Structure 1
Amino acid sequence: MKRRADELVVFLGPSLPAAEARRISPCTVLPPARQGDVWRALSLKPRALVLVDGVFEAQPSVWHHELLAALEAGVAVFGGGSMGALRAAELSAHGMVGVGRVFGWYRDGVVADDSEVALLHADAEHGWRPLTVPLVNVRHAAERALKARVLGRPGARALVDAAAGLFYQERSWARIREAVAPSWSRAVLQAWDAWFAGGVEDLKRLDAMDCVRTAAEFVRHAAPPAPGARRNPSSLVRRRRLVEDVTRVGPRPVDSGRVMELLRGAPDAAAWAEAGLRRALLAGWVRSLGLQATDEEIAAEEAAWWQERGVRASRRQAFLAANGLDGPALRQLCEARALERLALTHAARLLPDGPSWDEALASEARLGGQWEQAARALAEAGDPPSEEE
């Protein structure tokens, strides 16, 4: 069966040209990941996501919370080669799969700093072409030269130390050779030059290819995705996702931040927000009391919600996407509705001498004027007072 390209989403830049990734497997290639990009990529409904390249320093880097959100949504997440190797080492305990030697070095503590994979590169117009050499590539070249007996251990260490002493935006092979030359004999320099002329392997490129292959193999043979462990990210993360995510209306992505701008200016914005706050506060309070909604109660709320919307079963996935939701997110909202209903149904027992249903009905009717309307209607109808009165 022919696979959709967006089943596999790959973040690539200087580590591997997009065309090479597509030759390995059908995939959707996106630029080096910035903060928020993984959240936005989830709207494509991929089965697997590969993080190789990502920005840093000048722009916010891809957040761990985004990758955890992908895992929670049932998307397999692979990382290798560059920023992906670093994030995979940090999140392997949470289910992110690391691939390649650079990942192994980070995982095992051989390297630790993100500067190990940093390099200067061209922009998208020029295919993200690398302009300098990342330190992990120098380490790999030193190992290969040592194995080929071009360098001894002191010479290999000197090569890595010389490269590490250069700022990543200035670390070219020519500058590295210039920096290490005083540490090598003439014979070593000649042997290096002859060996180097045959070409040195690009470790980041090799790892990136391996990472795409591994993810593609997973997509070919894995079972349908299942939601991962549910998390409760902080309010900061939740707010950031509200403005950095996208909502898909049909095939077209819309910035969720712009949707929020329109909603804030709506006439009913205050009422919507207050209703949402009441529900969230009541649900949180009920949880704090150690109470939980059952699966049946949540399912009943979800069924009632769909009935309120009047959406046919065939359109439900598109309807959820257009509302910035998916199945797990809808279940979470319906759980809050179930907890809210639990609090309202048992209000008299959740507090000492708690409010009754009739008290609540009367207080709202008096505040809203409905009490007066009902009393006037009875008076005009000549309704007699009760015997007790």
Structure 2
Amino acid sequence: MVRAGPARPRPAAGGGVSVFVFLGPTVALDRARELLDATYLPPVQQGDVLRLLGRGPRVIGIIDGHFDTVPAVWHKEILVAMAEGVHVFGAASMGALRAAELHSFGMVGVGRVFEWYRDGVLTGDDEVAVTHGPRDTGYRSSCDALVDIRDACQAATTDGVLPGEVAAQLVAIGKAMPYPDRSFRTVARQGRADGIDGALVDRWLAYAARRGAGRKQRDAEAMLEAIRVLVETSPGPKPVGYHVERTVFLERLRHEVALAEVTRLGRPPADAGERLRAGETLTTLREKQLLRLLARQAAERLGWRVTAEEAQDRGDRFRVQHGLASPAATRAWMAAEGLTEEAFWLHVQDTCVIERLQRLHGQEIEAGLPDQLRVATAGPPEPRREASHGAEDEDGAAAPGSEVDRARPDPPDPPDPPDPPDPIVRGGERLAVIRKKVLLRVLAAREAARLGTTMAAEDVQRLADALRRASGLDAADSWQAWLAAEELSEDAFLAVVRELAAVERLEAVYADEIDRRVPDHIRINALRAGWSSEGSP
């Protein structure tokens, strides 16, 4: 039922104003481009407007958006956009809904659907909902929106095609249907079944077909025209008379958007264990950010300050380590990643403080390494094979120390392999990583005690039991066998668990601050040697 009108010359956006429009099935893309020179994006969903702010839009138009398959675009992200000077328009579908709710804050609504929602004539968002195909099908609709059916009925009444009571009956029939089942044909069929004169129904269908574009398309095209008129004036920033409060929910959405961008997944990680850029998980990244946060707090209590010379030296070492041969290459990398200088130097200063704390707590860290390794690699112990004396090994060769071995001349000693700068230990982790994990446990236990957030004994036991189950040690015999094989007492195990519990508790306490810094850590950690200003890794 949706037909495009006659083609018009395509207008160019004036003044270099950046315009973005969220568009799906309501208007064909080619038709939209005839009306307005803009960057056209898929139907909007939660986080898309916040994400778009990083591209410096001057005008955002919202036509189509997702309703029930993914979270819908949030009102507050539109308010944030306008507070940052962006002109936001809405019409036809999701855009009309949000404009009706936010027109008093400055969002510009266009068209009759917007007016119906604004004035309370319509209330249900299903009035504009349709099912449609994916992007490569042009978002082809498989049903008709109720607002299009309603508009065709009203127009038919005005033009004398339908009596008012018949038009109202057809609208009621459409409203009673689930939105995926609504179409002019299904409403007409049900109307005939309900006793409406078939000749009237056929006349209405023919009238609706002659009208061409439906109400949603007409409103959307009117919005594109309104944006074109605004763009030709080279508008300045949008003035608003409100301030957007930084709520927990808004900050979390910002974090999710930033995380989706920096991980290059196009979405937030599915779970905390999903591997991201550079192979790290969100769980690991959060632990690293908690360590940096606690290190900063410890440095403040100790009165430590990182000098400019110390930070510059550490920053230079970072550049050399990652193949950034010049300040220009460093700036190019930061620009490509969207990393600010402030965030980079904060990372460098945190690294300096962590290195100092590792020296300060060196004895505690080294003492905690064995138990950290034992707990990190917990699992059923493998049987040990006893060494035999004077016997042959499995290949039939004499075992070292046997009589046959003594009769042979001693082979020359092989050259000693070079010591790795950061040896890999049990569990496949590097020793430097294990040391930082122990430092995190030490700092977390002290901070939890300072805040009075230590876990109760039963909570510690719950965490210990969960760790045992995850490691395949839930059976009493395998548990005792593992303790014996590791020469670890149950008290020592629980001591480690208590510190891990402190880490878990503090991750909850500082969740927002941790999540805010995770994207910058991903950017820095994903850097690879060989990156140059010519391109990213």
Q: If the length of structure 1 is used for normalisation, what is the TM-score?
A: 0.66
Contact 1:52–1:83 at 8 Å: present in 2 too? Answer: yes
Q: 2:219 aligns with which of 197, 207, 210?
A: 207
Of stretches 224-233 and 161-170 in structure 1, the one that deviates more from structure 2 is: 224-233
How far 1:4 sits from its partner (Å)? 8.1
Q: What is residue 48 of structure 1 aligned with on the other side?
A: 59
Distance 1:266 1:177 in 2: 57
How far 1:178 sits from its partner (Å)? 0.8
Contact 2:13–2:37 at 8 Å: present in 1 too? Answer: no
Residue 204 of structure 1 aligns with an amino acid whose one-letter code is K
Q: 1:87 aligns with which of 95, 98, 102?
A: 98
Distance 1:204 1:124 in 2: 19
Residue 125 of structure 1 aligns with an amino acid whose one-letter code is D
**The structure with more radius of gyration:** 2
How far 1:34 sits from its partner (Å)? 1.3
Matches within 5 A, 1:285-364: 322-323=337-338
Distance 1:88 1:158 in 2: 29
Between the two proteins, the alignment pairs up a number of residues equal to 302
Unaligned 5+ segments in structure 2 are 1-11, 270-275, 299-314, 316-326, 344-359, 362-537
Distance 2:208 2:288 in 1: 69
Q: What is residue 134 of structure 1 aligned with on the other side?
A: 145
Query: 1:31-79 CA deviation, whole Å, 9 max, x = no partner?
Result: 0011111111111111000011000112111111211111121111110
Q: 2:253 aligns with which of 222, 227, 240?
A: 240
Distance 1:191 1:265 in 2: 65
Query: 1:255-298 CA deviation, whole Å, 9 max, x = no partner?
Result: 787689689639963354348889xxxxxxxxxxxxxxxxxxxx
Aligned partner of residue 26 in structure 1, secondary structure? coil
Residue 178 of structure 1 aligns with an amino acid whose one-letter code is R
Residue 44 of structure 2 aligns with an amino acid whose one-letter code is A
Aligned partner of residue 64 in structure 2, secondary structure? coil
Contact 2:47–2:74 at 8 Å: present in 1 too? Answer: yes
Aligned partner of residue 122 in structure 2, secondary structure? coil
Q: What is residue 64 of structure 1 aligned with on the other side?
A: 75
Distance 2:13 2:109 in 1: 27
Aligned partner of residue 232 in structure 2, secondary structure? helix
Unaligned 5+ segments in structure 1 are 279-308, 334-367, 370-389
Distance 2:203 2:169 in 1: 15
Contact 2:184–2:205 at 8 Å: present in 1 too? Answer: no
Contact 2:24–2:43 at 8 Å: present in 1 too? Answer: yes
Q: What is residue 270 of structure 1 aligned with on the other side?
A: 290
Distance 1:317 1:207 in 2: 44
Distance 1:218 1:156, change over 3 A: same
Contact 1:151–1:192 at 8 Å: present in 2 too? Answer: yes
Q: What is residue 104 of structure 1 aligned with on the other side?
A: 115
Q: What is residue 21 of structure 1 aligned with on the other side?
A: 32
How far 1:223 sits from its partner (Å)? 3.2
Distance 2:34 2:18 in 1: 15
Contact 1:5–1:27 at 8 Å: present in 2 too? Answer: no
How far 1:236 sits from its partner (Å)? 2.2
How far 1:234 sits from its partner (Å)? 1.3
Root mean square deviation of aligned Cα? 4.0
How far 1:220 sits from its partner (Å)? 2.1
Contact 1:36–1:66 at 8 Å: present in 2 too? Answer: yes
Q: If the length of structure 2 is used for normalisation, what is the TM-score?
A: 0.49
Distance 1:277 1:231 in 2: 29
Contact 1:35–1:63 at 8 Å: present in 2 too? Answer: yes
Distance 1:46 1:261, change over 3 A: farther
Residue 188 of structure 2 aligns with an amino acid whose one-letter code is R
Matches within 5 A, 1:172-211: 172-181=183-192, 182-211=194-223
Distance 2:151 2:110 in 1: 16
Contact 1:6–1:44 at 8 Å: present in 2 too? Answer: no
Distance 2:173 2:268 in 1: 47
Residue 273 of structure 1 aligns with an amino acid whose one-letter code is L
